[in-house]
Structure 1
Amino acid sequence: MKRDEFLHLFGFGATLLVSGCLGGCGSKTDNPQPGSGSTPAPAPGTIDFTIDVVAPANARLNDPAFGYVYGAGNRVIVAKTAGGSYVALAAACTHQGTTVEFQSGPNNFFCPNHGSRFSTSGAALNGPAVAPLRVYTLVQTGNMLRITG
C-alpha cells in the first residue's frame, strides 16, 4: 500500500471513529434518556412483599431523620410520610433511573443525581423528571406492610 493510500484510509477511519463517538460515547449524564436507568420500575404484578415496621432491619423507616427503607431488591422505596402513613413507590427516578431517597423534612422524594423531586403520591414536582413515580398498593395490618403491584 502506498503512503497516500494509507493516510487516506487512516483519515477516513479516524473520521468515522470520531463522528460515531460524538453521537454515542457520552455518559448517561451527558446523554440523558428518560427511563434508561439501570433500575427500571418493575412490571405490573411483579411486586409482592411485606415489611415488619418494628423489625430492627427496618428501624430507619420509623426514624424521623430518614423515614424510609427499600424493598424488592431496591426497586421499591417505602416511606413514612409527615402524616404518619406509609407509601410505596418505584425507587427509580423516571429521568435516568437513579435511586430516589425520601426527605422527611419536605415530605417528598428526591433524586440525588439531577435534583428531581416527587410528591408522596408520585407526582413530579420539579425536573428534569416529568413522569411520575409509580405508586404501589400498600396495606397495613398491625405492624406488617404488604406492598403489591
Structure 2
Amino acid sequence: MTASSVINHNVGLGAAGLLAAGCLGGCASSNLTLAAASGIYFMVDLAAVTSTPLDNPGVRYTYVDSRAIIVAKTAADACVALQAPCPHPGTSVCLNQAAAHFVCSNHNAVFNLGGGAISSPASSGCKQVVVVQTGTSLHVTG
C-alpha cells in the first residue's frame, strides 16, 4: 500500500461495518455461498485524485489496497466493493457498468454486484466487503 493511495488501513472490523452489515446483500443468481471478507478496514477519500475513476462515466470503478479490493459505483450511484481477485485464476475483476456486473477477463467469469457467481469456473463468488459513505469518505470493512 502506498501513501499516494490515500487510504487509511487498519486491521479489524469497524463500527460502521457492524452497523451496515446487511447493506450489501447482493442478488446472487447462483446457489454458491459467498464467504465474507474479514480483517479489512480502510477509508477511501472521494475527493482525492486517486478516486476520480469512480465518477468517470466510462470507468466507474477503482482498485484500492494494492488491487486487493475493487470499489465501484453502480448505475444508481451506490458504491459496492468486493475483494478484487477472481476466486478461480486470481485475476482482478473489473466492472461492466452497462451489464451491471463484474467480469474476470481471464476465463470470462461473471459476478453480480454482490459478488455472486453468475457464470464462472470458480467454486465460489467474490468476497463481499461493506461500504458506508460518510460525506466524502467511503469506509470499507469486512
Relative to the length of structure 1, the TM-score reads 0.68
Q: How many residues align?
A: 108
Counterpart among 68, 71, 74 of residue 75 in structure 1: 68
**Rounded Cα–Cα distance in structure 1 between residues aligned with 2:126 and 2:44:** 20
Q: Give the partner amino acid of 1:128.
A: P
- Relative to its length, the structure with more strand (as a share) is 2
For structure 1, list consecutive stretches of 5 or more residues without a partner in the other structure: 1-40
**Structure whose CA Rg is larger:** 1
Indicate if the aligned counterparts of 2:94 and 2:102 stay in contact, CA closer than 8 A. yes
For structure 2, list consecutive stretches of 5 or more residues without a partner in the other structure: 1-34
1:99-114 to 2 correspondences below 5 Å: 99-114=92-107
Q: 1:135, CA displacement in angstroms?
A: 0.6
C-alpha RMSD of matched pairs (Å): 1.7
Q: 1:141, CA displacement in angstroms?
A: 0.1
Q: 1:130, CA displacement in angstroms?
A: 3.8
Indicate if the aligned counterparts of 2:37 and 2:83 stay in contact, CA closer than 8 A. no
- In the other structure, the counterpart of 2:24 is none
- Relative to its length, the structure with more helix (as a share) is 1
**Greater relative CO (CA pairs within 8 A, separation 6+):** 2
Q: 1:54, CA displacement in angstroms?
A: 2.7
Percent of counterpart pairs with the same letter? 39
Counterpart among 24, 39, 44 of residue 38 in structure 2: 44
